[in-house]
Structure 1
Amino acid sequence: MESTSIDDSALRVLRETFGYEAFRGRQREIIDAVSAGRSALALMPTGGGKSLCYQIPALLRAGVAVVVSPLIALMQDQVEALRHYGIRAACLHSGLPAEERRDVLAALDDGALDLLYAAPERLLGGGLLERLSPEQVALFAIDEAHCISQWGHDFRPEYLQLGRLAEGFPGVPLVALTATADARTRAEIQRRLLPADAETFIASFDRPNIRYRVRIKERPRAQILELIRDGHAGESGIVYCMSRRATEDVAAWLAERGINALPYHAGLSATLRAHNQDRFLREDGVVMVATIAFGMGIDKPDVRFVFHMDLPKSLEAYYQETGRAGRDGLPAEAVLLYGTRDVYRLRAMLEGSEANARHKQLERQRLDALLGFCEQTTCRRQALLGWFGEDHPGDCGNCDNCLEPPRTWDATEAAQKLLSAIYRTGQRFGANHVIEVLTGGSAARLRELGHDRLSVYGIGRDHPRLIWQSLTRQLLAQGLVQPDPEGHGGLRLTEACRAVLRGERRLVLRADTRPTTPDRSRGSSIRVAPAERGRWEALRHCRRSIAEAEGVPPYVVFHDATLLEMLRCMPASLEELGHVSGVGRHKLEKYGEAFLEALAAAE
C-alpha cells in the first residue's frame, strides 16, 4: 500500500515537484534504497520512469548528484526538463561554450546545483572527478549502463573505467540504470561498476500501452504510407530502415505524398543530423526515417508509432527500438514488416560470417528467437517478455495475434514436397526456381535444366505461389532449410529437416493469406471526441506558443498525457489544475493561468 503520510519526503517531492500522485512499479523501492545511501542496479523499461529513481534521491540527499550520460542530446533534454520543474540542473559536455562551462563549474563549487550531467570522458578525463570530494556528492547515477557490455570498447570505452567511482568515493551511493540488459550484461554491470553489496531491482519489462503487430512485407513503402495515413496522421513516429540509402529514399518518397518525413543516419553531416533531430523533437507530427543510429537518448514522450521496414538485429534491439514509442503511457503502436528476403539475408550473413563456432551458435539462438517471434501464432507480448525471462499469461488483448488470431494449417505434407523439390533440384537454386518446379511452371530455364522431367515437377499445383512463398519463409525461419553459405542464392537442407521428411515431426504453421480488406484494428492513437477537439487544439496551441517562446520542445512544458487529463478534468481554478497529473508546483505557478485561459476561451 502506498504511504501517504505528510512526512513522506519522497512522495512529497513526487507530488509537489513533478506533479504525480503515486510511484510506479519498483520506483519507490529504488528511491528508498538510494536515498538511504545504498547502491543499486535498476532495470526498467523505456518509459518506466528510470530518471525519477535518481532525481528524487538527488533532491533528498545533501550535495550534488552526478549523472553520467552517453549522449549530449539526452543530457540537454533532461536538464531543460528539470529546470522547468524548478530544479537546479546543469550539464558539462564538449559542445558547451567556455563561458557556460565556467558558469557551471562555479555553480558546482558554490553548491548551487542539485544535479550535474556529464559525459563519461568529461567526468573521468576533464578534471571534473578530481574537483569533487565525497562530501560534495549526493550520489552517482550511470545512465544507459548497458553500454559497458553491449558496445564496450567499440562504443564508449570510458564506461569501462567508471568502476573508479566506487573506489574513489566510498560511502557515496551509486545507481546504474538501463532498459536493456540480459543476465550476462547484468552480471558485467555489477562486476565492473557497482560495489559488491549493491542491490538489484528488476521491474516488469511489459509496455501494455504498445500494440505489437507483424505484417508480411509486400510493398513496404505503400504499407508504411497506409499505416501512417490510416492510424497516425499528423502524429510523431519513427520508421527504421536497414540502410542509409533507404532512409533517404523512403523519407523523400513519403514527403512527396504529404508526410512530414525526414531522414537520419550516421552518414549525414552533423549539421543536418542535428537539424532533423531538432525538428523531430520540437515539431508535432514529424516522422523520422532512420537507421538505428537514431533513437538512443531521444527523450521524446509522444512518439506514437515505431515501424520497422526491415528486421532488427535481435529481439533485444527490437524491444529497445519499439520502446521509444509511447513513453508518456498513452496508446502507441509498433509494426514490423517481415519477409522471406529478410530471413534469407540474415541466415546467409550469419552462416557466411568469419565468427568462431561459439559466437555463431549464440547469434543463431538470437536470430531463431527473433524469427520465432515473427512467426508466433499466439500472444506476441508473452513471447517477447519470455525472452527476457519474464512470465506473461498471454492473451494481452493488444497485439495482432490476440486481436485477430491467425489461422494455422497442417503443413507437413506441403513441407515434405518443398524439401523434396529443393533436394531434387540439387540444393543450389533459390526459392523462386524451386516454386516454379513445384507449381509446374513453363519457364524455358526449367526445360534447359531438365527440371520439368523431375518427379517433383508440378506436385504443388494444389497450392498457389503465395502459400509456397509463405512456407519457404517459415522453413527458413525454423532452420529446416538454409541459404547457400557461398552466397549464390540457393537453398540447402539442414539436418533438422530429416524428421519432417520421415514423417516423425508434424508442422503446424501460420496460414498466411493476402488481406482482402484494410486492417482497421489498430486503434492505437490518442482518441479525442469531436466535441472535445476544439479544447484539445487550444491546449496544444497554448503549449506550442509557450515552447516556442522558451526555445524548448513542447513536451518539456507538458506531456500529451497531462494535456489529455486537463481536457477530461476541465479544471476551473489553479487549485483544480494542481491536481492534474504532471502539473507540479513550479509549472502550476508558471503556466497555470495560461492553460486555464486556453480552456475557457475554447468553450
Structure 2
Amino acid sequence: MNASDTTSWQQVRSTFKQIWGYEDFRPPQGEIVRSLLSKQDSLIVMPTGGGKSICFQLPALLQTGLTLVVSPLVALMENQVQELKERKLPAALLHSEVPSYQRKQTLQALERQQLRLLYLSPETLFSAPVWERLCQPQLKINGLILDEAHCLVQWGETFRPAYRRLGAVRPALLKFKPAGTKIAIASFTATADPTAQATIRQVLQLQQPQIFLINPYRNNLNLKVQIVWTPRGRKQQLLQFIQARLKQTGLVYVRTRKDSEELAEWLKQQNYATAAYHAGLSPEQRRKIESSWLTGEIPFVICTCAFGMGINKPNVRWIAHFHTPFLLSEYVQEIGRAGRDGKPADALTLISEPTGFLNPEDKERQNFFAEKLRLQYQKAEQIARKIPRQGELTAVTKQFNDGAVALSLLHSAGQLQWQDPFNYIRHSSGKSRSFDELNKLQQQIQSQMSEYLKTRDCRWQFLLRAFGFTKEATNFNCGHCDNCR
C-alpha cells in the first residue's frame, strides 16, 4: 500500500476507526503509520499513554505478511495480544511460559501464514523452532518492531544479552527471502535520551530512520520527592500518602522481590488489601494479581519494575516510589503508569536523608548494586580473555556460565561483531572501549537519578533536559512539582 495515495489513506483511517473506534490519529500517530507502511526504518520516542502500540499494530494488520514484535515482559505481551484477540484480530504470542499445546498451535499458524502480528521475547525469537520457521522463504515478513526499546539499553549488556543480537536479525532473514524483500525495523519507547537513541540506532542497524521525538512532559503528573529520616519514617510517610488517597488506584514501586513481599505483608497487617508482585511469581499468580488490580479488587500493588509496562489502566491516580529506581528512564516509565486518562495524578518518591548517617538504607542499597555490577563486568572481562576470536554463541555459553554476557559486553565495547544472531567475530577498532570504561559509563548514567532527586529546579525541566529536549527545557517551570510549588 502506498500510504501517500489518498484512497489508501482513507482505507487506513476507516480501518483505524473500525478497529479502535477513533475518528482520527493523535499527532504524530498518522505520520508513524505512514512511515511503517512505506517500509521505512523508524525510531519513535513518545510519552507513556501516547498510543504507541496502535502505530505498529495498524500497519501490521493492513499488510499481508507478518510483523514481529519483540517485547520484554510476558505481562506486556499478554496484555496487548489479549486486546487484539478480543477484537478478533490475527495476533499471537510466544514466550517461555506458553503451554506446549498453545505453542504448537501458534507455530502451526505461523507456518500457514495466518498471523499478522507475532509477539515474542528476544530469547524466544532466537530459539531454534521459531528461528527455523521465520527463515522459510515463503514466509513473508514485513517488519520487526522493538517495543519498549529502552530495555535494549538498560538490560542488553548484562541482564538480557539477547538484545545485543537484534541488529543481526534483518540481514540474516533476508538471506532466505526472495530478492527485493524489504523488512522495516522500528523501535518504540517513552524514554531514550540522545545517548540511548544512538545505542538503539547502532545496535539495530537502522538505515536512515525516520525519527519522531515527543518530549516526556505530562502536565497532569505532579512530581514530589520527600526525605525520610528513619526506616520506620519511610513506612509512615507511605502510609500517610496512601491514607490520603484511600479509594484511588495506585502502585508502590520497590527494588527487590524480598522488599515487595515484606512491605506487602506489613501493609496487610495495617488492614490494607494489597499484594506483592515480582518476576519470581508463577504466571498464574501474576495474572491473578494483575486482574485483581485492573478490576479494582485491590486498589494498589507493591511491585518491582516487572509490573506496569504496557498494562493499560487509565485511572491510576498515584505512584509511590518506596525505593528510588537506579535509572532516570526507569523512573519516567514508572511514573508514566499514572494519569493516562489525562486527569491529575501524583508521583511521590521517598529518599533517605542525604548524609546517610541516620538512615543509610539508600546508600547501602546503591553501593550493593554498584558492587554487584562491577563484579559482573570483572567476571565477564576474565571470560572475554578466554573466548576464541571467532565462534558460535552456543559453544561459548556451554563452556562459560556468563559467556553470553561477556559476548554482549564485547559487542557493546565495539570489540565484537555478530555475523548473524548465532555467530560472532572479534575485532578491534579505534572506537573500542574497555570493560572498565563501560562500567564507569553505567555509573555516570546512574548518577543522573541522584542529581534529579537533589535538584532544586523544576523537576520536569530537569527531565526535559536529561532526555535531550534542551530547547523545551529553557526557562521551563511546570508550576505543579514540589520545587515549583
**Smaller-chain TM-score bracket:** 0.7 to 0.9
Indicate if the aligned counterparts of 1:239 and 1:288 stay in contact, CA closer than 8 A.
yes
Indicate if the aligned counterparts of 2:220 and 2:342 stay in contact, CA closer than 8 A.
yes
Paired residue type of 1:104: T
* 1:264 to 1:399, Cα distance in 2 relative to 1, 3 A: same
Aligned to 1:396: 478
Q: Secondary structure at the match of 1:32?
A: helix
Give the Å deviation of 1:57.
Answer: 0.8
Q: In the TM superposition, what whole-angstrom CA distance separates every residue of 1:54-75 from its partner, at most 9, and x where no partner exists? A: 1111122222222122222211
Indicate if the aligned counterparts of 2:323 and 2:362 stay in contact, CA closer than 8 A.
no
Give the Å deviation of 1:141.
Answer: 1.1
Question: Are 1:156 and 2:167 matched, yes or no?
Answer: no
Give the Å deviation of 1:382.
Answer: 0.9
Aligned to 1:497: none
Aligned to 2:386: none
1:346-495 maps to which residues of 2 (within 5 A)? 353=371, 355=374, 362=441, 365-366=444-445, 369-390=448-469, 391-392=472-473, 393-402=475-484, 404=485
Give the Å deviation of 1:296.
Answer: 3.9
Give the Å deviation of 1:334.
Answer: 0.7
Give the alignment partner of residue 47 of structure 1, picking from 34, 42, 49: 49
* 1:171 to 1:377, Cα distance in 2 relative to 1, 3 A: same
Give the Å deviation of 1:212.
Answer: 0.9
* 1:245 to 1:58, Cα distance in 2 relative to 1, 3 A: closer
Give the Å deviation of 1:48.
Answer: 1.8
Give the Å deviation of 1:153.
Answer: 4.4
* 1:398 to 1:25, Cα distance in 2 relative to 1, 3 A: farther
Indicate if the aligned counterparts of 1:239 and 1:308 stay in contact, CA closer than 8 A.
yes
Indicate if the aligned counterparts of 2:93 and 2:118 stay in contact, CA closer than 8 A.
yes
1:15-414 maps to which residues of 2 (within 5 A)? 15-132=17-134, 133=137, 136-167=140-171, 168-169=173-174, 170-218=181-229, 219-230=233-244, 232-266=245-279, 272-273=285-286, 275-340=288-353, 353=371, 355=374, 362=441, 365-366=444-445, 369-390=448-469, 391-392=472-473, 393-402=475-484, 404=485
Q: Secondary structure at the match of 2:26?
A: coil
CA distance in 2, matches of 1:162, 1:129: 13
Q: In the TM superposition, what whole-angstrom CA distance separates every residue of 1:388-433 from its partner, at most 9, and x where no partner exists? A: 111234232332233x3xxxxxxxxxxxxxxxxxxxxxxxxxxxxx
Give the Å deviation of 1:359.
Answer: 6.2
Indicate if the aligned counterparts of 2:97 and 2:283 stay in contact, CA closer than 8 A.
no
Give the Å deviation of 1:291.
Answer: 3.1
TM-score normalised to the size of structure 2?
0.73
Aligned to 1:580: none
* 1:274 to 1:205, Cα distance in 2 relative to 1, 3 A: same
Give the Å deviation of 1:244.
Answer: 4.1
1:525-564 maps to which residues of 2 (within 5 A)? none
Unaligned runs of 5+ in 2: 175-180, 375-434
Give the Å deviation of 1:76.
Answer: 1.2
Indicate if the aligned counterparts of 2:91 and 2:116 stay in contact, CA closer than 8 A.
yes
Give the Å deviation of 1:339.
Answer: 2.9
Paired residue type of 2:89: I
Superposition RMSD in Å: 3.1
What percent identity do the matched residue pairs reach?
Answer: 36
Give the Å deviation of 1:27.
Answer: 1.9
Aligned to 1:510: none
CA distance in 2, matches of 1:337, 1:250: 14
Give the Å deviation of 1:336.
Answer: 0.9
* 1:316 to 1:94, Cα distance in 2 relative to 1, 3 A: closer
Indicate if the aligned counterparts of 2:253 and 2:322 stay in contact, CA closer than 8 A.
yes
Aligned length: 399
* 1:83 to 1:363, Cα distance in 2 relative to 1, 3 A: closer
* 1:62 to 1:45, Cα distance in 2 relative to 1, 3 A: same
Give the Å deviation of 1:272.
Answer: 4.5
Larger Rg: 1
Indicate if the aligned counterparts of 1:163 and 1:192 stay in contact, CA closer than 8 A.
yes
Q: In the TM superposition, what whole-angstrom CA distance separates every residue of 1:528-547 from its partner, at most 9, and x where no partner exists? A: xxxxxxxxxxxxxxxxxxxx
Q: Secondary structure at the match of 1:395?
A: coil
Give the Å deviation of 1:387.
Answer: 0.9
CA distance in 2, matches of 1:49, 1:292: 21
Give the Å deviation of 1:282.
Answer: 4.3
Give the Å deviation of 1:185.
Answer: 2.4
Give the Å deviation of 1:376.
Answer: 3.3
Structure with more relative contact order (C-alpha pairs < 8 Å, separation 6 or more): 2
Give the Å deviation of 1:216.
Answer: 2.4
Give the Å deviation of 1:299.
Answer: 4.1
Give the Å deviation of 1:259.
Answer: 2.3
Which has the higher mean CA deviation after the structures are superposed, 300-309 or 383-392?
A: 300-309
Q: In the TM superposition, what whole-angstrom CA distance separates every residue of 1:502-559 from its partner, at most 9, and x where no partner exists? A: xxxxxxxxxxxxxxxxxxxxxxxxxxxxxxxxxxxxxxxxxxxxxxxxxxxxxxxxxx
* 1:34 to 1:395, Cα distance in 2 relative to 1, 3 A: same
Paired residue type of 2:187: A
Q: Secondary structure at the match of 2:332?
A: helix
* 1:353 to 1:72, Cα distance in 2 relative to 1, 3 A: closer
Give the Å deviation of 1:268.
Answer: 5.5
Which has the higher mean CA deviation after the structures are superposed, 381-390 or 252-261?
A: 252-261
Indicate if the aligned counterparts of 1:25 and 1:204 stay in contact, CA closer than 8 A.
no
CA distance in 1, matches of 2:303, 2:154: 21
Aligned to 1:536: none
* 1:374 to 1:324, Cα distance in 2 relative to 1, 3 A: same
Unaligned runs of 5+ in 1: 405-603
Q: In the TM superposition, what whole-angstrom CA distance separates every residue of 1:101-125 from its partner, at most 9, and x where no partner exists? A: 3332333334332212122232222
